[in-house]
């Protein structure tokens, strides 16, 4: 009636070898003879034996676990919609599993130094940080992590003086691509709706790309066409209303996020302004919703699979003590209806 899990000692006894040999055989040590190894492995399989991770971890001082910490947007009611994080989680899980790592997920702030606790308590060998929440607070957490010698990878842009390593999307390139696309369609007055403050480094980079594309086309960025907006539909709606109220002339909108773009399109529709005939709109993120709104949203897409791969490779590198460098990958412009590049102009 012994329904307890077997230990390596049980396997050793049954296989007729020492416990040390069992351990070696199961770890595929080259020290152990092939026949011995296969025999031991068969016995282990038959007894449904699995190495006790607590014991192994205690001995090796490794947990073979990565903690994934998600800092979701705090403001805005649409926070549940961040599908990109879902895709990232999915890919990170798979990528980590391929390297023999489990993924611990945390979406909540507990104590002040909960993020440090993961590695210090040997629950995880390193962290991956997704999302920012409030960047000022975030930055403090990074400093604390660095001070505690925690290994971590940040999903995001490379920022001066920011501690740690990051892997992210080249938001500046994305903003540039989006804006250049709008200009190439003949648009002259491209509005920017979104944040541009340092508090949101990703958004700030998109804005920088926007400015770069304008400058390249010989256009001086016009402050009247730039309206701050947080990542929500409501903010996008409001931003367009502000543009209209101050009588700004614009024939295109580059929105910092898809949600802003969608809110903006609704505001345009409510004011009888047709998209893309009168105003072209481009978003950023390519959330699943983007393909479903009407007109379907042209937007900038980040590659979740490559992103996850980069983050996991980075954190495993840091764990193994390999040199790791921060990197950015270029996002991709996805052309749909809202910019007008594909739409058939329906003449007057």
Partner DNA sequence: CTGAAAGCGCTTACAG
- Across 224-236, b (16+ Cβ under 10 Å) vs e yields ebbbbbbbbbbbb
Interface with a second copy (CB under 8 A), residue from 17, 22, 26, 87: 87
Q: Which whole-number Å values give the CA distances from 214 to 112, 208, 209, in the listed order?
A: 43, 10, 9
Q: State the nearest-atom distance from the C-beta of 300 to DNA, in Å.
A: 45
Q: Which one of a second copy, DNA, none interacts with residue 9, CB within 5 to 8 A by kind?
A: DNA
For residue 312, give both structure tokens.
């996991």
Q: State the nearest-atom distance from the C-beta of 97 to DNA, in Å.
A: 18
Q: State the nearest-atom distance from the C-beta of 5 to DNA, in Å.
A: 7
- Integer Cα distance of 187 and 102 in angstroms: 49
Confirm if 193 and 259 have CB atoms less than 8 A apart.
no
Interface with a second copy (CB under 8 A), residue from 110, 220, 247, 344: 110
Interface map 26-65 toward DNA (x if CB under 7 A): xx--xxxxx-xx-----------x-xx--xx-xxxx----
- Per DSSP (E only), the strands in 42-117 are 65-70, 102-106
Q: State the nearest-atom distance from the C-beta of 167 to a second copy, in Å.
A: 20
Q: State the nearest-atom distance from the C-beta of 52 to DNA, in Å.
A: 4
Q: Which one of DNA, a second copy, none interacts with residue 292, CB within 5 to 8 A by kind?
A: a second copy
Q: Of the ranges 13-21, 87-95, 220-228, 234-242, which one interacts with a second copy (CB under 8 A)? A: 87-95
Q: Does 234 bind a second copy (CB under 8 A)?
A: no
Number of neighbours of residue 123 by Cβ within 10 angstroms: 13
The torsion region of residue 48 among left (phi > 0), alpha (psi -120 to 50) and beta comes to left
Write the DSSP symbol of residue 197. Answer: S
| Footprint (CB under 8 A) of a second copy, residues 111-130 | 113, 116-117, 120-123
Q: Which one of DNA, a second copy, none interacts with residue 26, CB within 5 to 8 A by kind?
A: DNA
Residue 64 vs 79, nearer CB to DNA: 64
- If residue 282 lies in a helix (H) or strand (E), which one and from where to where? strand 280-282
Residue 151 vs 196, nearer CB to a second copy: 151
Please spell the DSSP secondary structure of 4-66, one letter per residue. Answer: SPP-HHHHHHHHTS-HHHHHHHHTT-TTS-HHHHHHHHHHHHHTT----HHHHHHHHT---EE
Query: What backbone phi and psi angles, to 5 degrees, belong to 152?
Result: -150, 150
End-to-end CA distance of the chain: 85
Q: Of the ranges 31-39, 93-101, 234-242, 314-322, which one interacts with a second copy (CB under 8 A)? A: 93-101
User: 135: Cβ–Cβ under 8 A, 6 or more apart, which residues?
Assistant: 198, 199, 200, 201
Confirm if 300 and 178 have CB atoms less than 8 A apart.
yes
Q: Which one of DNA, a second copy, none interacts with residue 215, CB within 5 to 8 A by kind?
A: none
Binding site for DNA (CB under 7 A): 4, 7-9, 17-21, 23-24, 26-27, 30-34, 36-37, 49, 51-52, 55-56, 58-61
Applying CB under 8 A, which residues contact a second copy?
A: 3, 5, 48-55, 57-58, 63, 65, 68, 80-81, 83, 85-87, 89-90, 93-94, 97, 102-108, 110, 113, 116-117, 120-123, 148-149, 262, 288-289, 292-294
């Amino acid at each position: 009636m012994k329904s307890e899990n077997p230990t390596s000692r049980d396997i050793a006894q049954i296989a007729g070898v020492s416990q040390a040999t069992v351990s070696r055989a199961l770890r595929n040590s080259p020290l152990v003879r092939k026949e011995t190894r296969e025999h031991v492995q068969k016995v282990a399989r038959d007894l449904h034996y699995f190495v006790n991770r607590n014991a192994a971890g205690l001995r090796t001082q490794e947990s073979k676990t990565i903690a994934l910490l998600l800092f979701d947007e705090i403001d805005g009611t649409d926070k549940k919609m961040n599908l990109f994080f879902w895709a990232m989680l999915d890919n990170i899980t798979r990528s980590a599993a391929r390297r023999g790592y489990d993924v611990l997920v945390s979406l909540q702030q507990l104590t002040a130094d909960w993020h440090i606790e993961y590695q210090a308590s040997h629950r995880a060998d390193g962290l991956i940080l997704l999302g920012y929440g409030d960047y000022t607070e975030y930055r403090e957490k990074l400093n604390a992590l660095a001070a505690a010698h925690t290994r971590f990878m940040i999903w995001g842009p490379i920022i001066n003086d920011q501690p740690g390593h990051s892997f992210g999307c080249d938001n500046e390139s994305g903003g540039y691509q989006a804006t250049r696309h709008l200009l190439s369609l003949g648009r002259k007055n491209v509005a920017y709706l979104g944040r541009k403050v340092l508090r949101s480094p990703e958004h700030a980079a998109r804005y920088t790309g926007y400015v770069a594309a304008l400058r390249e086309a010989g256009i001086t960025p016009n402050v009247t066409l730039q309206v701050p907006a947080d990542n929500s539909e409501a903010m996008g709606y409001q931003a367009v209303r502000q543009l209209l109220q101050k009588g700004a002339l614009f024939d295109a909108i580059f929105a910092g996020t898809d949600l802003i773009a969608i809110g903006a399109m609704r505001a345009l529709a409510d004011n009888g302004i047709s998209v893309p005939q009168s105003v072209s709109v481009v978003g950023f993120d390519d959330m699943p919703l983007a393909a479903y709104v009407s007109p379907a949203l042209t937007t900038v897409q980040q590659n979740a699979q490559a992103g996850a791969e980069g983050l996991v490779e980075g954190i495993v590198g840091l764990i193994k003590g390999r040199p790791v460098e921060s990197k950015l990958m270029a996002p991709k412009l996805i052309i749909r209806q809202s910019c007008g590049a594909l739409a058939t102009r329906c003449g007057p």
